[in-house]
Structure 1
Amino acid sequence: MNIDFKLDKLSVIGRAAEAYATGELSEVKERAERLYLGKRYPFVISPDYPYPLHLFSPRLSAMLEGVTNYPDAEETWELITARENIIKMTAVTEIKRTAAEILGPLFEEKYPQSDGIIARKQMIGYMIKIVMECFGYITSQGRMQIDTSGGSGNPNRRTNFFKSATRYAKMTPGERDALLGQIESADVKRHFLAITDLVIKGQTGYQRVYNIDGLTNWDTL
């Protein structure tokens, strides 16, 4: 169990539980309408929780709406949340590697090292954190160095957009219960339990749509 994990390390689930408990949903409703007017909302948990889970992060919302100076935020979010890339990130996490590492070569090709690279890496790292949380993964202790061994003069040297990245691990029911113990409000606890039950079991509306554990055979391609 990740015994040092605190409720305030969550980026969206805790905020969502509090907002649904208090009924203070106008801000996230307006964000969703501005970003997805006329479109199907992504990352909707269930009919009881009808707003995009990722938009409960004010920081991510500001990125996607262009309020903060992060380059290509909307395009980057679309790339990270592609089904194929979510499958890659969750799969590599299961073998105790970093989610960012598997997407590093993609971003290295798309965004060559240039001015603003630190801000872009921070943006990508935070977006990955949101996606992983939406799929039931929490930050694990410590960052991991990404292997780019072989030496700079070696043509076969492994390269990556990132030099180090945050590690994640699947949230266990025990860890969820420890987080519940940090919540004082009974109403917030009730919503937090309901949301995390769905996320941990892979039964949210968006997890059913993404179907990252589903198999595709030749006849269905």
Structure 2
Amino acid sequence: MINDLKLDKLSVIGRAAEAYAIGDLSEVKQRAERLYLGKRFPFVISREYPYPLHLFSPRLSAMLEGVASYPDAQKIWELITARENIIKMISVTEIKRTAAEILGPLFQNKYSDNKDRVMPRKQMIGYMIKIVMECFGFTTSRGRMQIDTTRGPDDSARRANYFKSATRYAKMTIDERDVLLEQIGNADVKRHFLAITDLILAGRTEYQKIYNIHGLTNWDSL
């Protein structure tokens, strides 16, 4: 499996590094305050990086704030970012399956009778999964994987899954991170990118401590 090691394939880490480097944080601060007024911010990297990492994606922010265009966005985001679901996505990724595959039956049950805006909803879910996986140090791999919904060689019935194919992910290695690092020209951006990815890859961000995904055996959640 070959990771797609281009900086512009990242959705939040590169943008966060650039924003912290130039001190342009007012927009993400305002997004966080609108979405989490009076609440503890989720997906905070550290005291030095105090704003939600996922909100450095303008696209995801628009989904979470755009009630008219994305009426289910916040509920879907809460579902995807539930601890047990993140553990499931990481666990299946480690055996070279797709993160969306393990959540597919859940969304099939939730939306099987709802034929409205099926493709936009699938795209939204896929993008949200991408953000979560990136926050935990995973990058996209080239090509999509077909999701096998057959029950067995002698059974023509099919398991219900909301997705027919999905993006594959793989854990970013230090060497792969360094390949991305070399694509950054600005020294300050590079410094912040290094600091942020060091924390993520070591599992030492504030949100990773809260999620504590290795606090139980991953397979216990499947």
- Does the 8 Å contact 1:71/1:120 carry over to 2? no
The answer for unaligned runs of 5 or more in structure 1 is: 217-221
Distance 1:40 1:125 in 2: 26
Tell me how far 1:150 sits from its aligned partner. Answer: 5.2
Q: Quick check: 1:48 aligned with 2:53?
A: no
Q: What's the secondary structure of 2:150's corresponding residue?
A: coil
Seq. identity, % = 77
Task: Tell me the residue number matched to 1:88.
Answer: 88
- 1:72-221 map, 5 Å: 72-112=72-112, 113-149=114-150, 156-215=157-216
State the TM-score, normalizing by the size of structure 1. 0.93
Matches within 5 A, 1:4-43: 4-43=4-43
- Amino acid aligned to 1:135: F
Query: What is the SS of the residue equivalent to 1:212?
Result: coil
> CA offsets per residue over residues 161-198 of structure 1, 9 Å max, x none?
00000000000000100000000000000000000000
Partner residue in 2 for 1:219: none
Cα distance change on mapping 1:4 and 1:215 into 2, 3 Å = closer
- In 1: Cα distance, 2:129 partner to 2:156 partner: 30
Structure 2: which 5+ residue stretches go unaligned? 218-222
- Alpha-carbon contact 1:62-1:68 (below 8 Å) kept: no
Contact 1:149 1:158 in 2 (8 A): yes
Aligned residue pair count: 214
Q: How many angstroms apart in 2 are the aligned matches of 1:4 and 1:106?
A: 28
Residue deviations 1:144-164 (CA, integer Å, cap 9, x gap): 00002259xx68521210000
Alpha-carbon distance change, 185 to 67 in structure 1, aligned in 2, over 3 angstroms: farther
For the Cα contact (< 8 Å) 1:139–1:169, is it kept in 2?
yes
Structure 1: 4+ residue segments shifted above 2 A: 1-4, 154-157
